[in-house]
Amino acid sequence: MHSAIKRTLEVVERRNHSEPVFLQAVHEVLETLGPVVEEHPEIADLNLLERLCEPERQIIFRVVWKDDAGNVQVNRGFRTEFNSVLGPYKGGLRFHPTVNMGVIKFLGFEQIFKNSLTGLNIGGGKGGADFDPKGKSDDEVMRFCQAFMSELFRHIGHRRDVPAGDIGVGAREIGYLFGQYKKLTNSYELGVITGKGVSWGGSQGRTEATGFGAVYFAEEIMQAAGDSLEGKSCVISGSGNVALYALRKLNDLGATVVACSDSSGAIFDPKGIDFSALRLIKEVERERIEKYCEIHPSASFRPKAKVWDIPCDAAFPCATQNELEVDDARKLVQNGCKLVCEGANMPCTPEAIKVFHQAKIPFGPGKAANAGGVAVSALEMQQNAGLEHWPFDRVDEELRRIMRGIHTSCLHYADKYQASGNYVAGANIGGFLRVAEAMMCHGLI
Ligand code: NDP
């Protein structure tokens, strides 16, 4: 390992010893940068790696709100403004009980490289709260969002920091957050948040973007290997925003998705999961996934189960970090899986990724494969700035072009730095180089 990388990892571990997922994300990126640091001594001279691993700013705040029973509740809110060298901080908000500063920092760190890979002018950030929207009434969610924004509004702005959705934050939450921002600032600043409703400044295709983008990326991988997704049997973890629209695009391309999941368990349907039924249950009714089996008797529910032991040609982890572990990876390989493409952020553990690489199964890392969401968010900002509203087909075409570009970049940088076909190395190096070059231009700040 290059001495500059080793030294940076030591410093980062010492400073952030209580944040394991952040350390995991940093290791995963830095360990692939050896040949680049070798080729560019100025990276070490300017201590660029350590600077990159330290967020520009972190905000932690108290969120006080009242539940329907009249009890006063306290949550903790976070925003990491990680790196603004390529543009305003950009990254979603996650509302989930497992959220803490380490989780937000891992997501913010990933976001720097992902946003860079899109080729657009967006920096990296992430935020959220340890609030669980599950089981809360609409009124409770609204009051929480208003309380959350009552602090966050001081730190964001369309040229400063532009949040969006993530786990637990969809169109409903974005609406309440924007409403409160508008009230507090007395200005209709559309570009301050993305993922808005299409009727009030949102972009066509933003809801679909991350899932569609991940499937476009997977299709590029298959094509590079002389194959396609048509006729392939697939499994997807999760049944939220990313999972649902990956399912829909896979169906469009002639693949069959035989399993999906949520945190209660997995459903298996050999006939293929019906997108409309699952969308209704998860997106509209906000119900548990087991309900799907009441509508489709060909499906069965497996409580607390994952989807990775179900034989498939392609696997799409689309739920959460570290959900696909080494034994799951071995099972997928044994069952003949030909492709793994991450819709979620860091869903595969480092040991699982090693299994895929050893088995020579093409593996698309999240920071490349799920960049479609943030890319279309940037297109939403562009439409807001120009007072424009593009039709769905135009956004979808742009998304396809961007995903194709990211795929090409990954292969190019992997090839150039002696890691042919390794999408992890290609994504990390491609994302890093653009950020590093801009940091050098901006001087020591
Ligand atoms: P949603 O909240 O819409 O859906 C999340 C899904 O994952 C749900 O099915 C949820 O099940 C499941 N899940 C969440 N946490 C856990 C857990 N700890 N254990 C098991 N299952 C879990 O989120 P998104 O679809 O938006 O996000 C999914 C992933 O994609 C995340 O990693 C996110 O960071 C990433 N991502 C999202 C983007 C976007 O545009 N939305 C953009 C880029 C990346 P349940 O309903 O039971 O909680």
CATH code: domain of residue 270: 3.40.50.720
Q: Is the CB of 84 under 6 A from ligand 1?
A: no
Q: Provide the pLDDT for residue 40.
A: 96
Reduced to 3 states (helix: H, G, I; strand: E, B; else coil), residue 65 is strand
Q: Based on the fold, state whether residues 178 and 271 are members of the same structural domain.
A: no
Q: Based on the fold, state whether residues 224 and 359 are members of the same structural domain.
A: yes
Residue given tokens 């500063």 in the structure block: 101
Of 364, 392, 409, the residue that ends a domain is 364
**For the CA of 242, the nearest atom of ligand 1:** 25
pLDDT tens-digit profile of 67-120? 999 999 999 999 999 999 999 999 999 999 999 999 999 999 999 999 999 999
Separation between Cα atoms, residue 327 and residue 256, nearest integer Å: 24
Question: Does residue 120 lie within any of the structural domains?
Answer: yes
Question: Does residue 426 lie within any of the structural domains?
Answer: yes
| Number of other residues whose CB lies within 10 A of the CB of residue 320 | 19
Q: Provide the pLDDT for residue 193.
A: 98
Q: Based on the fold, state whether residues 67 and 49 are members of the same structural domain.
A: no
Q: Based on the fold, state whether residues 337 and 226 are members of the same structural domain.
A: yes
Going from the Cα of 44 to the center of ligand 1, the distance in angstroms, rounded, reads 37
> What percentage of the chain exceeds 70 in pLDDT?
100
* Probe residue for ligand 1, chosen from 320, 346, 370 as the CB with the greatest number of ligand atoms within 8 Å: 320
Question: Does residue 173 lie within any of the structural domains?
Answer: yes
Question: Does residue 408 lie within any of the structural domains?
Answer: no
Residue given tokens 């069952």 in the structure block: 335
The distance of Cα 15 from the centroid of its chain, to the nearest Å, equals: 25
Mean pLDDT across 60-72: 98
The distance of Cα 145 from the centroid of its chain, to the nearest Å, equals: 21
pLDDT tens-digit profile of 386-428? 999 999 999 999 999 999 999 999 999 999 999 999 999 999 9
Contact 316, 246 (CB under 8 A): yes
Active site residues: 126
Q: Based on the fold, state whether residues 278 and 134 are members of the same structural domain.
A: no
Q: Based on the fold, state whether residues 443 and 344 are members of the same structural domain.
A: no
For the cut 90, the answer to whether the pLDDT of residue 367 exceeds it is: yes
Q: Is the CB of 426 under 6 A from ligand 1?
A: no
Residue 24 to residues 18, 261, 331, 340, 402, Cα–Cα distance (Å)? 12, 25, 23, 20, 27
Q: Is the CB of 167 under 6 A from ligand 1?
A: yes
Q: Based on the fold, state whether residues 355 and 283 are members of the same structural domain.
A: yes
pLDDT tens-digit profile of 20-52? 999 999 999 999 999 999 999 999 999 999 999
Q: Report how many domains make up the chain.
A: 3
* Probe residue for ligand 1, chosen from 162, 263, 321, 367 as the CB with the greatest number of ligand atoms within 8 Å: 263
Of 154, 187, 220, the residue that ends a domain is 187
Question: Does residue 374 lie within any of the structural domains?
Answer: no
| Number of other residues whose CB lies within 10 A of the CB of residue 291 | 16
Question: Does residue 27 lie within any of the structural domains?
Answer: yes
Q: Based on the fold, state whether residues 232 and 174 are members of the same structural domain.
A: no
**For the CA of 243, the nearest atom of ligand 1:** 25
Q: Which two tokens stand for residue 265?
A: 């368990």
Antiparallel, parallel or unpaired: β 123-129 and 72-83: antiparallel
**For the CA of 343, the nearest atom of ligand 1:** 30
Protein residue whose Cα sits closest to atom 28 of ligand 1: 319
Any idea what the Cα angle at residue 234 is, between residues 230 and 235, rounded to 5°?
165
Question: Does residue 383 lie within any of the structural domains?
Answer: no
Going from the Cα of 372 to the center of ligand 1, the distance in angstroms, rounded, reads 15
Going from the Cα of 240 to the center of ligand 1, the distance in angstroms, rounded, reads 6
Q: Is the CB of 263 under 6 A from ligand 1?
A: yes
Separation between Cα atoms, residue 35 and residue 41, nearest integer Å: 11
Q: Based on the fold, state whether residues 167 and 24 are members of the same structural domain.
A: no
Q: Provide the pLDDT for residue 331.
A: 98
Protein residue whose Cα sits closest to atom 21 of ligand 1: 263
Contact 279, 183 (CB under 8 A): no
Separation between Cα atoms, residue 397 and residue 234, nearest integer Å: 24
Mean pLDDT across 190-200: 97
Question: Does residue 372 lie within any of the structural domains?
Answer: no
Q: Based on the fold, state whether residues 94 and 35 are members of the same structural domain.
A: no
Q: Is the CB of 372 under 6 A from ligand 1?
A: no
Amino acid letter, 366:
G
For 50-87, b/e burial (b = at least 16 CB within 10 A) is: bbbbebbebbebebebeeeeeeeeebebbbbbbbbbbb
Of 130, 156, 187, the residue that ends a domain is 187
Q: Based on the fold, state whether residues 156 and 227 are members of the same structural domain.
A: no
Contact 185, 149 (CB under 8 A): no
CATH code, domain with 132: 3.40.50.10860
Q: State the residue range of the domain holding 305.
A: 208-364
Q: Based on the fold, state whether residues 222 and 286 are members of the same structural domain.
A: yes
Q: Which residues contact 136 (CB under 8 A, 6 or more apart)?
A: 67, 144
Going from the Cα of 182 to the center of ligand 1, the distance in angstroms, rounded, reads 28
